[in-house]
Amino acid sequence: MTSSLFKPGFEHFKIFVNGCLCDKEPWQIVTLTTTSVLAGVWLWGFIFQEESLLSRGKKTAFRLARKIPAIARRIDSELDKINETFEKEVINRNQGNPYITTLPDKGKSHTEIVELVKQYLKFGDFKWEEGYVSGAVYYFNTDLIKLLTDVYTLASYTNPLHPDIFPGVCKMEAEVVRMTANLFHGGPSSCGTMTTGGTESILMACKAYRDYARSEWGIKHPEIILPTTSHPAFDKAGLYFGIRITHTPVDPVHYKADINAMRRAISRNTILLVGSTPNFPYGTMDDIEEIAALGRQYNIPVHVDACLGGFLVIFMEQAGYKLPPFDFSVPGVTSISADTHKYGFAPKGSSVILYSEPKYRHHQFCVTTDWPGGVYGSPTVNGSRAGGKLASHFEDGRGEDSKEDVRGQDSKEDSKEDVRGEDSKEDVRGEDSKEDVRGEDSKEDGRGQDSKEDGRGEDSKEDGRGEDSKEDVRGEDSKEDGRGEDSKEDGRGEDSKEGGRGEDSKEGGRGEDSKEGGRGEDSKEGIIAACWATMVSFGLNGYVDATKKIVETTKLIDKRLREIDGLFIFGSPATSVIAIGSKVFHIYRLSDALTTRGWNLNPLQYPEGSSTPTLSSAPDLVPTGVQPNLHQVTQIPGYATWRIHLCVTYMHTTNGVADRFIADVEEEVALIMKDPSKEVDGKLAMYGMSQKIPDRSIVGDFTRFFLDSMYYTPTDQ
């Protein structure tokens, strides 16, 4: 029946083609056919590249425009000014002190070196020890520093690359991984490794899934689906490992991942779905249960990025704050990244990447079997790693005298009640926690052994990943380049200045990590032991107590900010990040004013969709009876698209810090409201201007100059 409907049309088409080719010789027909096929293949490849045609067209137009002499001179002149500005800022921060640019003929003494270090560490204007900084430093206590110094002294030259020589350090690393896996409800098969920070943890996860998909399903053009609020470390992984990164929008009301948009973006080449707990821009948590359900439906692994708040969310329930499930207790979650050097309070340069099963971790490892120097294998990016850092996570090395204080300034009075006494040895989960919440069935990958035959198994055709999925299953939302204009260009965008997760360029955890320094081949020496000692020093009770204080402080600041005329809060803070906006003045003016008072907040860009402030539906985390304060004066279009955020740390829980912050905000907002339409000026004006530049390659140049300035040394002095 169907064939009879198409037969007349086909006959007409056949007659038409034969008529066109009747006067052609056979060689001409063959040549014409071959040329047409090759042209079609080229056209398909040209149109359906990783980056959209529109995006590539815009880039080409901007690139050609920059070749026009007059435009090129103007742009180069402005870029030179910006570069000089960055270098002057570095010189000012270093207070005019001379640089050491050549090795001294004679080595300096111990005393001279220590004095130089003290002098260097006084550079900078922000009093981070007093809680004036958003993120960056998550804990500071002299007793803990003493413990870590002792541990690092013992383990500074150890290296887990040589497990036969340093078995104790390897044991520490294994224990850090197992403790963390248990905290995230990992089953008996859960596993992982330590890394030097959240970026490396994410890189390792992406590398593992890329190699797993290539080995098991034959996927040669892998792609990862993630919300736009996910950390740029995923974009870095895409650039490093040749993975297409497809960003999907977030819900413009609650600022969480849009599950329907993620569903539309899935194709037969999707190797991973990602959610954050919480994300950096808004501090909201993606719905991990829904993302995991989507992963199970399409047989795709799911990664939970808990780098920023991982060591808060795992203790929040015990601290009295209920959260929706987000860890290995959710069927379908296959990996989790969590930074021990943030709310785990370990020294900078330590993080953990966890997997639900060893088969994923095996593809993280790098093994060279035919090297003349022997069979070589390494678990992470680094070869040599710093054993001393591991020890700071585990050791109960407070001794009798240190019971007073390893937990913060305020803990001196009450730590005797807390100090991990005998009862604290009982794990809240007990022995039963060893049972894999996901059960035996979790070992079945959903793709089965048979999936090797056609990339995803026979059933994959029914779930949108078979042959039919070649049609762009991504829908309208995915037309933007998988990485987006911005993610390729500016590397860090706003994040290069910030702490936390995006702010990591200050910490070494994420981003370029260039400020930390501890990233060379030997940079992990001492890190493993230090991380281990920190974890065991705090213990479960210590972390729960710290979490309670941090979340209470966050809720207090959130509530008080909502009461200030002219401000609103984006969504509702899930853990410790508060995103602040205004509809009546440019919020960067508040950030700039607070900077003059010694505060350091994080400026952000590109909010999603509607900027109408709403309260989240999470009742336990929303202050009761508090509504967003929308000022009655004229609301200026566009102002609500800008925001700043405060990442609350243990430093902010010290008595008086939160009240001081609120008081300063109230005073500065009152001054700003006298002339709300005034534009922002100073350094933040340049930052705001960069977000309006359509040619993102210029913004990329800004960022590269900023990174260059971090390595500035004078050519003559």
Cβ 664 vs Cβ 597: under 8 Å: yes
Neighbouring C-beta atoms of residue 539, cutoff 10 Å: 19
Residues 6+ apart with CB under 8 A from 450: 457, 458
**Structure-block tokens of residue 45:** 């490849």
Q: Give pLDDT, residue 473.
A: 37
CA distance 518 to 81: 31
Q: What predicted TM-score, i.e. pTM, was given to this entire model?
A: 0.70
How buried is 424 (Cβ within 10 angstroms: 0-12 exposed, 13-18 middle, 19+ buried)? middle
Span 370-414, pLDDT tens digits: 899 888 888 888 876 665 444 444 433 333 333 334 333 344 334
Compute the distance between CA of residue 78 and CA of residue 288 in angstroms, rounded to an integer. Answer: 44
* 711 vs 697: CA distance, rounded Å: 22
Collapsing DSSP states into helix, strand and coil, what is residue 33?
helix
| Chain-centroid distance, C-alpha 626 | 31
Which is nearest to 216 in space by CA: 463, 461, 448, 459?
Answer: 448
pLDDT at 34: 94
Computed on alpha carbons and rounded to an integer, the radius of gyration of the chain in Å comes to 28
Phi-psi region of 609 (alpha: psi -120 to 50; beta: other; left: phi over 0): left
Three-class SS of 605-632: CCCCCCCCCCCCCCHHHCCCCCCCCCCC
Domains, the chain, with CATH or none: 125-680 (3.40.640.10)
381 phi and psi, to 5 degrees?
Answer: -65, -45
Round to whole Å and give the CA distance between 527 and 285: 29
- CA separation for the pair 506, 513 (Å, rounded): 7
If the chain, 717 residues long, is cut into consecutive pieces of 10 residues, what is the mean pLDDT of each piece? 67 82 87 92 79 76 83 83 83 82 90 90 83 89 90 83 82 94 96 94 97 96 95 95 94 91 95 95 93 97 96 95 95 97 92 97 92 88 63 40 39 37 37 38 39 40 39 38 38 38 37 36 65 93 96 94 92 89 88 90 63 34 37 45 86 93 94 85 57 68 83 79
Quick: pLDDT tens for 7-29: 777 788 888 888 888 888 889 88
Beta bridge partners of 580: 569, 644
Q: Are 364 and 201 in contact (CB under 8 A)?
A: no
What is the per-residue DSSP string for 616-677?
Answer: -S-GGGSPTT------SSPPPTTGGG-EEEEE--GGGGSTTHHHHHHHHHHHHHHHHTTSTT
* Gap between the Cα atoms of 644 and 589, Å rounded: 10
